[in-house]
Amino acid sequence: MYWSGLSAAANAAAAYQTGQTGYPVGHTPTGTYTTQRAAGSTYDTGYQTAAAAAATHSTAAGTYPSAAASATYDYGYGRTTQTAAAAAAAAYDSSKTYYAQPSTATAYTGADTHYHNKTAYTNAGAYTTTSRQTTPVVTPKTSYTSTYPGAAAAAATATYNTSPYAVQTTTANKATALPVYMQQTSQPATAVAAVKTPGNTWQTFKKQGTVPNKTQKPKAPPKPQQLHYCDVCKISCAGPQTYREHLEGQKHKKKEAAAKAGPTPSRHGASLRCELCDVTCTGADAYAAHIRGAKHQKVVKLHQKLGKPIPSTDPVVVGGTTKTSTTTAGTAVGAKTTTSGTTAAPTGTLAATTTTTTSDGKKDDLKEDLLDLKEKDVEPVGQEYIEEIKNEEGKVISFNCKLCECRFNDPNAKEMHMKGRRHRLQYKKKVNPELVVEVKPSLRQRKLQEEKLRRQQLREEMWRRREEERLLEEEERWYWEERRRYEEECEYLDWCRRYPRGPPGPPPMMPPGMPRPPFMPGMPPMMPMRRPDSSDDRHVLAKHAEIYPKEEELGAIQKIVSNTEKALKMVSDYLAEVDAPKEQHIKPKAKKEKEEVPKDDDDKKDGDKKEDGPPRMLKGVMRVGILAKGLLLRGDASVQLVVLCGDKPTRTLLDRVADNLPKQLAVVAPEDKYDIQRVVEEAALVVQNIGEQRISVNVTLTSPIMREQLLHDGDSQVTAVKDPPDVLDKQKCLDALAALRHAKWFQHTFPQARANGLQSCVMVIRILRDLCQRVPTWGPLNSWAMELMCEKVIASAGQHLSPGDALRRVFEALASGLLLPGSPGLLDPCEKDPIDAASPLSAQEREDITASAQHALRLIAFRQIHKVLGMDPIPPPKFQRGGRFTRKRRRDNSTGEGNDSEGGDGKKDKKEDEDSKMDMDKDTNSSKHLMVEGH
Amino acid sequence: MVMTRGRGRGMRGGMIRPMGPGPHFGPKMKQFVPRLPFDMVLCESAFPRVKAAPDESAFTQALLKRNADLSPTPAEQAAVLNLVTKIQAVMDNLIVDPGNFDACQIEEVRQVGSYKKGTMMTGHNVADIVVILKTLPTKEAVEALGKKVCDDLRAQEPQEVLVLTMLPNDRGFEISNSEATVRVLVTTIHQNLRKLDPELHLDQKILQSHLAAIRHSRWFEENAHHSTIKVLIRLLRDLRGRFEGFEPLSPWMLDLLAHYAILNNPSRQALPINSAFRRCLQLLAAGLFLPGSAGISDPCEGGNIRVHTAMTLEQQDLVCLTAQTLLRVLSHGGYKQILGLEGNSSIASEMSVWDGVVVSALEKAYEKPPERPPQDDDTDNMDADDDPMETTDN
């Protein structure tokens, strides 16, 4: 019910708690009459009923007249009386009361003792009113009753009037004896008072009590005079015509209405009144100015003419009692909040007696008040903010207060202004927050302040909510991120399971019949990155899909490579057969290449042969380069195989292989035609298919012996002599060996069975390969250096990188000068000596690649990755990506410390208030909703 | 590392909660996890040296010489110290005994900026003092304070009456004598910040930046007192002064960058000045201050604000490309030109040849997005010791 509403508004547990600490404080005094209250309801329900809207109130209204005291008792007097009044008069709509409630409620939750005191004070005030009012009620004046109907609203009010009044008159007699009880009963009376003149404070009544002749005046019909004198407006009219017009006029009606309702209460604690002109002045100075003023003089003259009595120029002090009660309330503040209820009551009685006494008492009051006004004579402040406006002659003609934005012509007025409350408030607000400005006990202001406090609290709450929401969102975000990664890896593993491949290790040697592993290790076609994140990722993935070879391309390459491999195997067999009987000149080396070992999982025939032991001339064929690494791109039409020979490969051997290979190829693939060329200078032969897709397979002959010799170059000079005369180009053979090592390194670094977070790396390498092919600047960067660099750079990130991030990191590394002179260089892990893998690059090439990478990095950073990748930009996906979220974060960022910086100008706030209130309500509601859902 | 906590990195785990897919977290997943760019120093182990590092003693000597040239002379230091001390004394007096001075109340007076940090440069003999007012900083109050301080100073030293000037501006006021200037930066206590009225008071952003300056100098005192850092800061500020492209870097960013470059390494030992200087360029070139980078989060602000977001995107681009070009020049041996010992600043914007290698300047990458305004709406992060500011006389 209402609690929920209240908690929605006051929501925050923290704020609420403070409010609760506030309750007991006020509650203690009410303990004295709990018994009475018990008749009504418990504290909480009582609170609720009182605080609820008119609808709820009507239920309580049944018990109202009888248990009126118990219904309005406890701490929320100020509030409850209001509600009571509102409900009874039915002037407020329910929503309004709803808003009114939280406002007071928040005032409490503010936990400011100050506010407790204030309510206590209200009480005292209300009390004074009613007790004073008893006088007119007991001895009713005609004037009094006549004013009544004008304001009395509903019939219900009438009934209220009677019963509480009855109670009150009786209690008023015993007032001093039973102050506590008295106070209670006074509550409903206040309610009635409020009903009578909604929106008016008790000062009205005081006015009526003290200056009855004033209120009587409107009753008396204006006597026709020679001078057409309007009593209400205190003016004379030239003739009957104008007089009538005046009476019809708005101005007059307003005045009349105002007079009926009683003079408007001054907002100040005490003010001076000119009885004659019915003008209220805020201070002695103002009053003096008025008396001196032309208007007053005119009225005086008029009255003299009419022979009307002219009251003395002594000011009538208005609100004197207010002052006293304020001060006592003030002392109550000093004393203790817990006792505020009880102290307030006696104060009320005291004040009541003062006012009900005769005129000498009043005079005392007056004197006191004048004294007070004098005492208030404060130091003027903010002199420096008052500009003097001079005319051409340099004479000061007026003053402009920059703080209050007002002007005066009179130096006196300026002085007064500087002492004035408004100015002081402005000064406090704009210059020195510590300036003490006397508290103004106006109901309106308090309401404003409460409203302000409530608003501020709401705002704070909203921020808290937002923050919470943000944190929650962020947390969930992480959760999903985590989960996405997990899924990704699962998928990857799944994929690997579907295409199993032997444990990573030395690749098997030439297994003709064995089902080959998928052609592209490392990355399944269209590796499922199901939820690509950033725009960079999406671009990289799209580009990757673009450069990844098509199925048929892969098929074609697969076919020619496996045919060549099979044929080479048969050539090997053939050569072994041919050589075996004749010569044993090739000694099996003690150090057989490891590649030989896997041979035994070949077919039995092969195994049998091996058992026989004749050393083969051709020991095995290996895939190297892009083929082995799975870095084929679309349009690649050249792959590499390496044949390891038992001894140093010679031209003779190359010829023998080249001669025999066509025959074997014909056996392996009778329906395909292949073209075979010898490229002696490359130590290779090239197998090319004849068809629409020209794919060439470079088969390079090499032998590990070449390198062994190199490694022991220093001490084994002798062996070099043994070289056959037609041995193939040494460097080419060594390159082939290096390619073999690189392939091994690659397969070891990027094993497929293990999702080691380097999937992105292979993708990036492919994309860089494409870049090297596309962009001339990057051409000189050899693929081995590039692969090595990518691996080092991406692996050193120490965290999983999405493809987009991985690519960016590579460019970052290059941009920070990885290739420039002075950098550590790329140590080649496949060489014994420390060698920079990128050593073939010239200084200028390094410089150019670096510059290009630097530009590319900035392109990526500024959302132009498509330019780097050489593709069209991909529009963002349809859904609004985190619009709300990012906005929120930015706001957080920008507000550093001044979150509450708004709320400066009260005027503007007020306008926005309604809207923002609605918004905030919606906001809190929705966020609540969200949180409920979230859990 | 301690100061490089990017938003949301590393602090997850234990976050898996049993919950269904929330309706609003489906498609719009996280977008932005800033990441630190490649940093050779941090992943040195992945890049073992192929050959021994080149000898850089000449470069180091040049750096030290440049620093010596940039440091203020003892006379300058004495002059500024003198003026600061006097003003501080006058202000302290005002705190203790305001007398009939009621235009404002001073809460606290603090020295900030390069003077406080010990990173002053020669020829720029300006010290900064932040005055925190208890009252609200109206323009009149600030001016009145300036007058009062100036009057008190004159009263103390009658012989200086002629040379002493006071100029109010929108940050506070400047008091200068013939040799030194003290910028008095006015701000107010936190509670007052929300009460500001732009018509009447100093700009809130400026006030906040002055409060930030206090935090900065405090942080500096605690974290960056290493003298290599001070040397590097001076060199970087000199670099910023000479190369237009570095203009957008605020002094605070340079402080943080220098601190980062020197101390943020695996061994936690201060890097030698030559490595640190090169690293600064490397970091900038690798995009430490580009969008999408974790950058350096401001240690003096909550909420992991990345300092470089105070620059517009265009400025970030400019800073990065300048650093990239200079890095290439440096690696080809052009340190003298970079340090300003030889040549001019054209190396950053024009082609140059080093040892037969042509080093070309780079072009901007940033393009203004066609329809949306650039997202450079991050807050300005002004620092106390900026360039000379325009003064308004009123």
Say which residues have a Cβ less than 8 Å from residue B162's Cβ, sequence separation at least 6.
none
Can you give the pLDDT at residue A54?
Answer: 38
Q: Which residues from chain B sit within 8 angstroms of residue A797, using beta carbons? A: 35, 38, 43
Of A432, A815, A882, the CB nearest to B28: A882
DSSP-assigned states of every residue in A109-121: HTT-HHHHHHHHH
**pLDDT higher for A541 or A140?**
A541
Can you give the pLDDT at residue A552?
Answer: 86
Report how far residue A736's alpha carbon sits from residue A683's, in angstroms, rounded to the nearest whole number: 9
Q: Which residues of B150-171 are buried (b: 16+ CB within 10 A; e: fewer)?
A: bebbeeeeeeeeeebebbbbeb
Place of tokens 């132009």: A864
Residue A234 C-alpha, separation from nearest chain B C-alpha, in angstroms: 44
> Could you tell me the pLDDT band of residue A476, with boundaries at 50, 70 and 90?
low
Please choose, from the candidates A812, A842, A808, A844, the residue with its C-alpha nearest in 3D space to the C-alpha of residue B360. Answer: A844
Q: Is B386 helix (H, G, I), strand (E, B) or coil?
A: coil
Q: Which residue of A has its CA nearest to B323?
A: A816
Can you give the pLDDT at residue A757?
Answer: 60
Asked if A881's CB is within 8 angstroms of B365's CB, the reply is no
Can you give the pLDDT at residue A192?
Answer: 40
> How large is the average pLDDT for residues A692-718?
74
> Could you tell me the pLDDT band of residue B225, with boundaries at 50, 70 and 90?
confident
Place of tokens 């309007």: A230
> Could you tell me the pLDDT band of residue B108, with boundaries at 50, 70 and 90?
very high
Lowest-pLDDT range, A244-253, B124-133, B242-251?
Answer: A244-253
Can you give the pLDDT at residue A596?
Answer: 40
Residue B201 C-alpha, separation from nearest chain A C-alpha, in angstroms: 8
Of A796, A855, A904, the CB nearest to B197: A904
**pLDDT higher for A879 or A303?**
A303
Q: Token pair of A877, please?
A: 């996906």
Does position B327 have pLDDT exceeding 90, yes or no?
yes
Can you give the pLDDT at residue A779?
Answer: 92
Can you give the pLDDT at residue B240?
Answer: 94
Place of tokens 């990518």: A790
Ranges assigned E (strand) in A319-464? 386-390, 396-401, 406-408
**Residue A213: other Cβ atoms inside 10 A:** 9
**Greatest mean pLDDT among A542-551, A756-765, A906-915:** A542-551
Can you give the pLDDT at residue A49?
Answer: 39
Residue B74 C-alpha, separation from nearest chain A C-alpha, in angstroms: 38
> How large is the average pLDDT for residues B154-168?
81
Report how far residue A700's alpha carbon sits from residue A625's, in angstroms, rounded to the nearest whole number: 12
Lowest-pLDDT range, A155-159, A293-297, A472-476, B369-373?
Answer: A155-159
Does position B66 have pLDDT exceeding 50, yes or no?
yes
Q: B318 touching A, CB under 8 A?
A: no
> How large is the average pLDDT for residues B17-37?
51
DSSP-assigned states of every residue in A482-502: HHHHHHHHHHHHHHHHHS--P
Above pLDDT 90, what percent of chain A?
Answer: 8
Can you give the pLDDT at residue A281?
Answer: 74
Above pLDDT 70, what percent of chain A?
Answer: 47
> Could you tell me the pLDDT band of residue A798, with boundaries at 50, 70 and 90?
confident
Can you give the pLDDT at residue A89?
Answer: 40
Q: Which residues from chain B sit within 8 angstroms of residue A404, using beta carbons? A: none
Does position B341 have pLDDT exceeding 60, yes or no?
yes
State the best of A384, A401, A429, A432 to mutate against chain B, taking most chain B CBs within 10 Å: A432
Can you give the pLDDT at residue A588?
Answer: 42
Q: Which residues from chain B sit within 8 angstroms of residue A402, using beta carbons? A: 200
Under 8 Å between Cβ of B142 and B392: no
Mode of pairing for the β-strands spanning B181-188 and B126-133: parallel
Q: Which residues from chain A sit within 8 angstroms of residue B360, using beta carbons? A: 851
State the best of B16, B38, B354 to mutate against chain A, taking most chain A CBs within 10 Å: B38
Report how far residue B216's alpha carbon sits from residue B209's, in angstroms, rounded to the nearest whole number: 10
Please choose, from the candidates B238, B293, B209, the residue with its C-alpha nearest in 3D space to the C-alpha of residue A811. Answer: B293
Can you give the pLDDT at residue B218?
Answer: 93
Encode pLDDT of A3-36 as tens digits. Answer: 443 343 434 333 344 334 334 333 433 333 433 4
Under 8 Å between Cβ of A187 and A75: no
Asked if A835's CB is within 8 angstroms of B46's CB, the reply is no
> How large is the average pLDDT for residues B28-40?
71
Does position A349 have pLDDT exceeding 70, yes or no?
no
Q: What is the mean pLDDT of chain A?
A: 63
Asked if A900's CB is within 8 angstroms of B12's CB, the reply is no
Asked if A484's CB is within 8 angstroms of B29's CB, the reply is yes
Report how far residue A846's alpha carbon sits from residue A850's, in angstroms, rounded to the nearest whole number: 6
Tell me, yes or no, if the pTM score tops 0.80: no
> Could you tell me the pLDDT band of residue B371, with boundaries at 50, 70 and 90?
low
Q: B236 touching A, CB under 8 A?
A: no
Please choose, from the candidates B292, B200, B212, the residue with its C-alpha nearest in 3D space to the C-alpha of residue B253. Answer: B212
Can you give the pLDDT at residue A911?
Answer: 39
> Could you tell me the pLDDT band of residue B222, with boundaries at 50, 70 and 90?
very high
Can you give the pLDDT at residue A202?
Answer: 44
Can you give the pLDDT at residue A3?
Answer: 43
Q: Which residues from chain A sit within 8 angstroms of residue B283, using beta carbons? A: 816
Asked if B285's CB is within 8 angstroms of A815's CB, the reply is yes
**Greatest mean pLDDT among A369-373, A519-523, A591-595, A806-810:** A806-810
Encode pLDDT of A91-110 as tens digits. Answer: 334 433 344 343 333 334 33
Does position B14 have pLDDT exceeding 80, yes or no?
no
Report how far residue A401's alpha carbon sits from residue A420's, in angstroms, rounded to the nearest whole number: 12
> Could you tell me the pLDDT band of residue A649, with boundaries at 50, 70 and 90?
confident
Above pLDDT 90, what percent of chain B?
Answer: 55
Encode pLDDT of A162-184 as tens digits. Answer: 333 433 433 334 433 333 333 43
Can you give the pLDDT at residue A262?
Answer: 58
Of B38, B134, B290, the CB nearest to A793: B38
Ranges assigned E (strand) in B26-153? 106-112, 126-133
**Inter-chain CB pairs, A–B, below 8 Å:** 275
Q: What is the mean pLDDT of chain B?
A: 83
Q: Which residues from chain A sit within 8 angstroms of residue B134, using beta carbons? A: 432, 434
Does position A616 have pLDDT exceeding 70, yes or no?
yes
> How large is the average pLDDT for residues A736-762?
78
Can you give the pLDDT at residue A408?
Answer: 82
Asked if B30's CB is within 8 angstroms of A861's CB, the reply is no
Does position A902 have pLDDT exceeding 90, yes or no?
no
Lowest-pLDDT range, A155-159, A251-255, A544-548?
Answer: A155-159
Q: Is A279 helix (H, G, I), strand (E, B) or coil?
A: strand
Mode of pairing for the β-strands spanning B165-169 and A235-237: unpaired
Can you give the pLDDT at residue A246?
Answer: 82
Can you give the pLDDT at residue A52?
Answer: 39
> How large is the average pLDDT for residues B240-263?
94
Distances (CA, A) of A228 to A9, A80, A235, A520, A828: 58, 48, 8, 112, 116
Q: Which residues from chain A sit within 8 angstroms of residue B278, using beta carbons? A: 822
**pLDDT higher for A165 or A367?**
A367
Q: B332 touching A, CB under 8 A?
A: yes
**pLDDT higher for B144 or A894?**
B144
> How large is the average pLDDT for residues A676-696?
85
DSSP-assigned states of every residue in A745-793: HHHHHS-SSS--S-HHHHHHHHHHHHHHHH-GGGTTS-HHHHHHHHHHH
Report how far residue A360's alpha carbon sits from residue A737's, in angstroms, rounded to the nearest whole number: 123
Asked if B50's CB is within 8 angstroms of A824's CB, the reply is yes
> Could you tell me the pLDDT band of residue B183, with boundaries at 50, 70 and 90?
very high
Q: B50 touching A, CB under 8 A?
A: yes
Can you give the pLDDT at residue A579?
Answer: 75
Q: Which residue of B has its CA nearest to A434?
A: B135
Asked if A482's CB is within 8 angstroms of B291's CB, the reply is no
